[in-house]
Amino acid sequence: MKRVDYDYLIIGQGIAGTALAWHLIEAHQRVLVVNDSSRPSASLVAAGIYNPLTGRKLVKTWLADELFPYAIQFYQRLEEKLARKFVYPQNIYRPYRSQEERDNYLSFISEPEISKYIANSSESQIDVIGVHAPYGGLEVKGSGWVDLSGLIKFSREYFIENNQYLESEFDANDLEVNDNSISWKGLFARKVLLCQGFDARENSLFDWLPFNPVKGQILDVTFSDYSADKIVNQGIFILPSLRDNEYRVGATYSWHDLDWETTEDGKAYLENKLRLLITGNYEIKGQRAGVRPSCKDRRPLIGIHPEHVAVGIFNGLGTKGVTLAPYFADEFVNHLCRDKELNPEANIARYFSLYDH
């Protein structure tokens, strides 16, 4: 019988790999996270905002009623385990662009599926100093943000202390896939789970999946006359950060020039939006870019390879990874350990027809 060092090798430690590792550890599985921290990571750039109502038409986020409570519970569990704070519940204030928009919003927020996420104070002016809001605004509750960089950092420290982390580059060509196990650089495991984000496109095991990555940029900004304990959102977001008087402003969306470089075009786009939204002056302290690992149907890419049962993927979380990762990590672990069915909208089986190897 071939030796097995681990039940699961997890490749990548963004929010996907981190959430999956924690869920497998809680399921008493032997886990090793393999990660190259020198590579850029979308999770370390992301603002980590969770928002139940998105877009101009206030569409309820897919599975919001299930995703959000589970994600908050998961992050709070990690806060207790690691003795750190990661989750910051905050309402989102959405200034109306016009009287017409105000009238339209007030006409449909009475719908039960929407109204439960609308704060009672939404029909009056909100006290956000420095925001241009002549028509008032709408306040969304059940929202907030997660300190993803802190979560990943302190999770990594825990994994290292418990011999569950290996700092290393990963090349799929070094992977030997057998019928019911894998080996990699002298290590043996029952399964390898690829949580590589944008890098997954370079992996021949899953390059047939319809990835549709999205580049995003954000600014780090200080203001002369702006103060808010809420997230402000109107075309862009203004998010309080953990640094005194510093905020994050974002984000851009681009499906071309998929690199990790900041651009003057991205900066100009965000500044143009920002000037319309605030009344005072600001100073840019920094600019960051990341590439979100999205799929063409905007659903996660989760499951086991159609040919190799010892190889799985957990990817495609896109712009909503902060809420998708915990919920679907739990679902994937239930699938792996208890043979429960995956949500068909997230299961990569929906794309098996594209696999022609």
| Amino acid 121: pLDDT | 57
| Amino acid 191: pLDDT | 98
Q: What is the mean pLDDT of residues 216-224?
A: 96
Given a cut of 60, is residue 260 above it in pLDDT?
yes
Which of 26, 31, 41, 12 lies closest to 288 in space, CA to CA?
41
Residues near 298 by beta carbon (within 8 Å), at least 6 away in sequence: 62, 318
Rounded-to-integer distance, Cα 92 and Cα 48, Å: 13
| pLDDT tens digits along 54-93 | 888 888 999 999 999 999 999 999 999 999 999 999 999 9
Rounded-to-integer distance, Cα 315 and Cα 300, Å: 6
Angle, alpha carbons 270-45-230 (nearest 5°): 65
- What tokens appear for 169 in the block? 């580059």
Mean residue pLDDT of the chain comes to 93
**Cβ-contact 280, 225 below 8 angstroms:** yes
Cross-strand pairs, 289: 217
Ordered domains of the chain (ranges, CATH): 6-45+149-210+297-354 (3.50.50.60), 92-141+214-292 (3.30.9.10)
| Amino acid 122: pLDDT | 52
- At residue 67, φ and ψ (nearest 5 deg) are -65, -50
Which of 6, 9, 7, 15 lies closest to 197 in space, CA to CA?
15
Q: What is the mean pLDDT of residues 278-287?
A: 95
| Amino acid 274: pLDDT | 97
Rounded-to-integer distance, Cα 314 and Cα 329, Å: 8
Residue 239 is classified by DSSP as: E
| pLDDT tens digits along 111-150 | 888 889 998 755 545 667 899 999 889 999 999 999 999 9
Rounded-to-integer distance, Cα 287 and Cα 300, Å: 28
Which contacts of 266-273 are long-range, i.e. CB under 8 A and separated by 24 or more positions?
266/217, 267/217, 267/219, 270/217, 270/218, 270/219, 270/236, 271/219, 273/234, 273/235, 273/236
- What tokens appear for 196 in the block? 């590589």
Single-letter residue type at 19:
A
| First and final C-alpha spacing in the chain | 29
The 3-state secondary structure of 170-228, one letter per residue? CCHHHEEECCCCEEECCEEEEEEEECCHHHHHHCCCCCCCCECCEEEEEEEEEECCCEC
Q: Does 201 or 66 have the greater pLDDT score?
A: 66
